[in-house]
Amino acid sequence: MKCGSITNDALVDYGERQGDAEARKPIDRHLNECRPCRDRYEEVKRIAAGVRATLTAPLPKALVDQVDAAVLGSLDKWAALRTTAGPSRRMWFIAGGAGLAAAAAIVIAIIVALSGGNAAKEDPGVVNKPKSVEPGPDPKPEPKPEPKPEAPEPRPEPKPEPPPQPRPGPAPEFKPKPEPVPPLPESPRTKAPLPEPPPPKVEPKPEPKPEPRPEPKSEPAFARGDVNRNGKLDRDDAAQLDDEILQGRTADLGRADVTGDGRVDCGDVLAILQAAEQNP
Amino acid sequence: MLAVKAGDQNAFALLYRRHQNTLLNFCYQMLRNYEDAADVFQEAFRYLFLHAATYEPSAKFTTYLFRIARNLCIDILRRRRRWNLQQLDTEIDVQDEKGPLESRLEADEIEAHVKKSLEEVPEPYREVVLLRLVQGLAYEDIAHITDSPLGTVKSRLHAGFGFLRQVLKRKKLIE
C-alpha cells in the first residue's frame, strides 16, 4: 500500500474502527511502517475529534431558550395548521401560480402587440425563471417567500425589450441601401457626393483590423489556476484540480500552483475557490 | 417519527430534544450566524411537524431531518451570495462568538481551533466533514442529504480534511 492511496476519509474510518477487519489490515500494516502517514493519521484523528466537539458543544442558553419557545411553544398552533391549513396552503400556491401565469400572459400580449413578434423569443425565458429557482430546495416551507422577491424580476426584463425591438424592425430596410450605392456614381448625386465614394471603401478596411485585436487579448486569459482552460477562474477549476490531485496527476499542472509554493495541493484548490468567490 | 405521524406531540418533543444540540450546531457551522441557525432550526422542525403525515420511513430519520435543514441552509447561503452578505455575516459572527467560544476553550488546542478553522473550509467540503461526524450517518446517508454521488462525498471528505490540515498548519497548530 502506498501513502497516496490512504485517503483522509479512510483514516477517519480507521480511527473509528469502521469497515471490516480485512480492509483495515493493510492500513494497519502501512501505518506501522510509515512515520509520515502515522503523523497524518494522528492529525486527522484530532481534527475529527475537534469537529465532533463542535457538533456536540453546549449552546448559549439564550439561544436554546429561544428555539425551545419557538418550536415547543408553537406545537398547538402547528397542530391546528396541520389539520386545517395543509391543503388550503397548496391551493393558495396553485392559485398564486395561476395568477402569475395570467399576469405573464398579459405582459406577453402587450409586448407582442407593441413590437410585433420578436418579444416572443424572450418570453419563455421570463416564464421559466421562477420555475427554475423553485425546485432547487427540496423542503416546501420556502416556496412562498421565494416567488415573491423573484416575481418582480420578470417585470423589469420585458420593459427594456421594447426599445431594442423597434431597432430590428427597420433593419431590413437598411439592407436595400447598399443596392442604391452602385447607381451613385451614375446619378446626379455624383457631383456632390464625389468625396463620399472613397470613404465607404476605406471604412471596410479598418473594420476587420479591430477584430483580430481582441483575439490576442483573450489568449492570455488562461491564467494561473485556470485548470480547465475556459478563460475563467471558477469552482469548476477547483473541482477539476481536486480530482487531479486525488488521482495523483499533478505533474503537468504547473499552472495550478496558485500559491506559488512549488507544489500542487489542497492549498491551491482553496486559493482558486477563494479567488472564484471574490470574482464571481 | 411514526408516532409523530400519528399526532403524538410528546414523541415530537422527544425527537426534538434528541437532535436539538447536533442540528443547531450543524446549522451554526454551516451559516456562521446564530440568528440564521436558529431560524433554519425552527423552520426544519416546523416543516417536520406539518409534513409528518407525508413522511415515509425509507431512510433514517436523522438523514431526513438533516436533509431538510441542509437544504434550508443552502437557501440562506444562496440568498447571501445573491445579496453579497457573506462578509457582513462573518463580521457579526466574530462579535457574537466571543463569549461562548472563550468559555468553551478546551485543553486540546487543536480541537478548540478546529471550530474557528472550519469557517475557512469552503461550504461544499465543510458540510460533508460535519455530516460525516454526526453520529450514525454513513457515506450513503451523506450522499442522500447532499444529493451528491458517493464518490463525490468521499473525495470532498478527503479534501475537506486536507483543507483543515492546511489551515491548522498555517496557524502553526500542527507541523
In angstroms, the separation between the Cα of residue B149 and the nearest Cα of chain A is 14
From the DSSP assignment, how many helices (H) and strands (E) are in chain A? 14, 0
Higher-pLDDT residue of A21, B48: B48
Q: How many helices (H) and strands (E) does chain B have?
A: 9, 0
Q: A188 by DSSP, 3-state: which?
A: helix
Alpha carbon distances (Å) from A156 to A107, A119, A145, A164, B133? 11, 14, 19, 14, 46
The C-alpha of B175 sits at a distance from chain A's nearest C-alpha, in angstroms, of 9
CATH code of the domain made up of A221-278 = 1.10.1330.10
- For chain B, what is the mean pLDDT? 80
Query: Distance between the two ends of chain A, CA-based, in angstroms?
Result: 41
How far apart are the C-alpha atoms of B148 and A233, rounded to whole Å? 23
What is the structure's pLDDT at A151? 36
- Rounded to an integer, what distance in angstroms lies between the CA atom of residue A273 and that of residue B160? 13
pLDDT at A119 (0 to 100) = 41
Contact A57 B34 (CB under 8 A): no
Instruction: Say which residue, B86 or B164, is predicted with more confidence.
Output: B164
B114 interaction partners in chain A (CB closer than 8 Å): 47, 50-51, 53-54
Q: Is A141 on the interface with B (CB under 8 A)?
A: yes
Q: How far apart are CA B133 and CA A179, in angstroms?
A: 75
CB atoms A266 and B162 under 8 Å? yes
C-alpha cell at A65: 431558550
Among A7, A11, A67, select the one facing B41 at the smallest CB separation: A67
Quick check: B142 and B153 in contact, CB under 8 A?
Answer: yes
A103-125 b/e (C-beta count within 10 Å ≥ 16 → b): ebeebbeebeeebeebbeeebee
Contact between chains at B108 and A47 (C-beta distance less than 8 A): no
Q: Are A253 and A241 in contact (CB under 8 A)?
A: yes
Whether residue B113 and residue A137 make contact (CB cut-off 8 A), yes or no, is no
Q: What is the pLDDT of residue B39?
A: 92
Query: According to the model, what pLDDT value does residue B71 have?
Result: 92
Partners of residue B17 in chain A, C-beta under 8 Å = none
Q: Which residue has the cell 457551522?
A: B29
The pLDDT value recorded for residue B41 is 93
Separation between Cα atoms, residue B42 and residue A64, nearest integer Å: 11
Chain B interface test: which of A54, A83, A272 (most B C-beta within 10 Å) = A54
What pLDDT is stored for residue B156 in this prediction? 92
Averaged pLDDT for residues B131-149: 88
Total number of residues shown for chain A: 280
- Looking at residue A93, its pLDDT comes to 66
d(CA B39, CA B141) in angstroms, rounded, equals 24
Contacts of A153 (CB under 8 A, 6+ apart): A129, A130
Residues of chain A with pLDDT under 50: 85-87, 117, 119-206, 208-221
Domain locations along chain A: 3-56, 86-169, 176-211, 221-278
Tell me yes or no: is domain B1-104 CATH 3.30.70.20. Answer: no
Which A-chain residues 33-62 have CB contacts (< 8 A) with chain B?
A: 39-40, 43-44, 46-60
Contact B117, B111 (CB under 8 A): no
B155, B168, B169, B172: which to substitute to probe chain A, counting the most A Cβ within 10 Å? B155
Cα A270 from Cα A241, distance rounded (Å) = 10
Contacts 24+ apart (CB under 8 A), A258-261: A258/A224, A258/A225
Domain ranges of chain B: 1-104, 108-175
Determine the pLDDT at residue A120.
41
Kindly state the average pLDDT of the residues B106-118. Answer: 70
Non-local (6+) Cβ contacts of A189 within 8 A are none
Residues of chain B neighbouring A139 (CB-CB closer than 8 A): 43-44, 47, 68, 71-72
In this predicted structure, what is the pLDDT of residue B84?
64
Alpha carbon A47 to chain centroid, angstroms: 31
Q: Please count the other Cβ atoms lying within 10 Å of the Cβ belonging to residue B113.
A: 20
The topology under which CATH files domain B108-175 is Arc Repressor Mutant, subunit A (1.10.10)
pTM of the model: 0.51
A 202-231 residues with CB < 8 A to B = none
Which residues of chain B have a CB within 8 Å of the CB of A67? 20, 24, 38, 41-42
pLDDT number for residue B104: 41
The Cα A93–Cα A254 span in angstroms is 53
Looking at residue A212, its amino acid is P
Contact between A75 and B174 using a beta-carbon 8 Å cutoff: no
